[in-house]
Amino acid sequence: MAGMLFDEFRISIGGTPTHSVIDWNTDAIGAWFVDEGTDTPDQAADRDCADRTGFNPTFAASPNLTTPTSTVTANVLILDAVDEVFTGGEALTGSTSVESFELWKDSGTNTTSPLISNHDDYTGLPLTPSGTDVTVVFASTGIIRI
């Protein structure tokens, strides 16, 4: 599967989402690694963190993204942030492979934290957690381009 935007995020941009609208610049945007052998992402049906068994992941959620920014260049909305480091202290261990990572708005509650995107096309994926730090280097062209 290629990386994707969850429908809930698309609706938050131009319609009435199930949960609150996502403000990339001011909301807390979280990330986690996903073992897709345990829970395959569903673009249409997965709306919030409670829809993903990964919300209680073997490979714990990261801190919020650092310095998320949104800019428009040549009629393209670019959502970006500083590269994300998952540390060994965030329980990045397990014997299962991690195929992707996901971004989501952290409202403080699983059932109201809308999913944003799933990414499985980054260098280093899939990976087997070993307890060491993992840095996700976001593309120089941005994390999401619309």
pLDDT in tens, 71-104: 999 999 999 999 988 876 555 666 678 888 899 9
Residues 18-35, mean pLDDT to the nearest whole number = 87
28 vs 38: CA distance, rounded Å: 26
Which phi and psi angles does 54 have, rounded to 5°?
-70, -10
Closest CA to 82 of 97, 65, 61: 65
- Is 68 in a helix, a strand, or coil? coil
Supply the pTM of this predicted model. 0.88
**Percentage of the residues of the chain whose pLDDT score is greater than 70:** 86
Q: Is the dihedral of CA 57, 55, 118, 81 positive or negative?
A: negative
101 and 117 Cβ atoms separated by less than 8 Å: no
Average pLDDT, the chain: 84
Residues 108-120, mean pLDDT to the nearest whole number = 89
